[in-house]
Chain A
């Protein structure tokens, strides 16, 4: 198998281009995003291409803007800490007919409430969720863990050592969020958190 330098020199010889010139970086990143079936983190691209993260981020932003300006059929979105190709939402109705497998996640009201509490209070125990919702949430939490939207995140250091839960990257993907920090602050929902009691 040829190593990276051999491939670089082969391409340079054949097309006379600098493999890691600005135009090639964009091509590489497009290619990486094209073949990926999950969000790709800047760090991964940076390591794969041997290009610093700042440059990768700059190119990704350029690509993102280019697709929007050119009104392309696809866009790049920053989801769950990575970048991924998505179809242009403006044409979603027409594309619906071409989607072969459309496995949507169906969530109950109880599941949404549980996720809402977990998203803002994480890491959180089942009891803490139940205190707010007023009902036991064991089965809802189990279902959400099975669906990959919640995950265990250690144990609380108190009597009984209850399991702590966090939202997952899949949760961010499902909610079209890049980071949990992108959720609006609770005060936007007319709520002020009280200072914690000692």
Chain B
């Protein structure tokens, strides 16, 4: 807010003034109550400096907008310092103020609209929809998550998310050991095991391995056999048993 002191100077209370970026200038020319040419810029600058010193958390946006609008003030005021006899230049000065007033009005309107949108959004929070699958919720928040967390943190989050289910994600030391088998040998082994069986689950097929990397190689071998149309693979549900049959 702006008020006139006893000695005729204008005083600015920054607590209110810097709520919005453009508010300072608009407060100055509000309703024509204050003539923009009467404002001492040093008071504006000093007032803002005090405000920054008082507040530990001033948004960069507030500071940059203050500088921007102060520069507008400087421009308008410096123009007024030069003597002008021409009427069109005087008119130009009036026009500047009118443009600023118009901007103020426009900005204030969109502030009101933003408050309206805020209330509309709050209204929306009264309506609930059926719960979407977890994957969709995760996708919605993923972009923000990825920025904040590294892969280890994401792994910890995933573990917590799956904590209530039967899914076990024991990834400790997954890269510590090398696999002791190769795909070709494993393909031969799986083909041999399946020859005497009607069907087997992948869990049963890979139960001979305790090393996670061996199981991964075993799974890759399975995919290779499927690609070669040696076996059939069936899985009835997500994370369910993978059933393997010879063709």
Contacts and interface: CB of A to CB of B under 8 A. Distances in A.
Interface of A: 34, 37, 77, 84-87, 89, 92, 95, 99-101, 103-105, 107, 109-110, 112-113, 115-117, 119-120, 131-136, 146, 173-177, 184, 186, 189-191, 194
A85 B125 CA distance: 14
Given A132-B106, A175-B120, A177-B120, A120 B131 contact: no
B61 A110 contact: yes
B169 interface: no
A112 B117 contact: yes
Nearest to A193: B106
A135 B21 contact: yes
B129 A184 contact: no
A86 B128 contact: yes
B98 to A, nearest CB: 11
Contacts of A190: 109, 112
B113 A37 contact: no
Interface residues of B, number: 41
A22 B189 CA distance: 62
B112 A103 contact: no
A191 B109 contact: yes
Report which residue of A84, A101, A105, A110 has the largest number of chain B beta carbons within 10 angstroms of its beta carbon. A101
Nearest to A95: B128
Contacts of A115: 114, 117
A116 B127 contact: no
Interface in B114-150: 114-118, 120-121, 123-132, 134, 136-137, 140-141, 143-144
Contacts of A131: 103
Given A132-B107, A133-B22, A133-B107, A104 B125 contact: yes
B143 A146 contact: yes
Given A103-B137, A103-B141, A113-B111, A92 B127 contact: yes
Contacts of B116: 116, 184, 189
Given A37-B130, A86-B129, A103-B141, A175 B124 contact: yes
Contact of B109 (A95, A107, A134, A189): A189
B31 to A, nearest CB: 14
B105 A174 contact: no
Contact of A176 (B61, B111, B123): B123
Given A133-B21, A135-B65, A175-B120, 17 more contacts: A85-B129, A86-B128, A103-B137, A116-B110, A116-B117, A120-B110, A134-B21, A135-B21, A135-B68, A173-B124, A174-B121, A175-B124, A176-B120, A177-B120, A190-B112, A191-B106, A191-B109
